[in-house]
Homo-oligomer: A and B are copies of this chain.
């Protein structure tokens, strides 16, 4: 019965559409905030991934690709643009000189701090709606 082959109806479309709408509102806020701070949206997210790296040592270009769910060479391009913009510095660790480790500059850290604060505040507002929209089938009583 619940094999999922014919469960798609108007209610599912509406629920999924609502979820995507909430997502896009957040993403739109995020992009606008980043651009207002002088950062392209992807560079902001890359910076967050770098600062939020929780492994040992600095994240590499490959780590960045994995966290952003993009192809390695896409992350490489992104890292290059960020280095040009003075947001990160690149270093090749002696242990494996193929790798490129990324470290944020002081300016990038300052920018990210402000943006992160704004995002945390915005998410406090949006989280309930997002969580609600994640209950895609709607409440059992509705």
User: Which residues of A are at the interface with B, using a C-beta cutoff of 8 A?
Assistant: 4-5, 7-8, 10, 12-21, 23-25, 27-28, 45, 48-49, 51-54, 67-69, 112-113, 116-117, 119-121, 123, 127, 130-131, 134, 136
Q: Which of B12, B49, B120 contacts A12 (CB 8 A)?
A: B120
Q: Which residue of B lies closest to A52 (CB)?
A: B17
User: Which residues of chain B come closer than 8 Å to A5, judged between CB atoms?
Assistant: 117
Known: A14-B52, A17-B48. A113 touches B69 (CB 8 A): no
Task: Flag if B16 contacts A119 (CB, 8 Å).
Answer: yes
User: Which residues of chain B come closer than 8 Å to A7, judged between CB atoms?
Assistant: 117, 120
Known: A4-B117, A113-B8. A16 touches B52 (CB 8 A): yes
User: Which residues of chain B come closer than 8 Å to A52, judged between CB atoms?
Assistant: 10, 13-18
User: Which residues of chain B come closer than 8 Å to A136, judged between CB atoms?
Assistant: 120, 123, 127
> How far, in angstroms, from A10 to B104 measured CA to CA in the complex?
13
Q: Apart from A21-B49, A21-B67, A27-B69, what are 15 other A-B pairs with CB-CB below 8 Å?
A: A4-B120, A4-B121, A8-B116, A8-B117, A13-B51, A13-B116, A14-B52, A16-B116, A17-B49, A20-B49, A21-B69, A24-B69, A25-B69, A120-B136, A127-B134
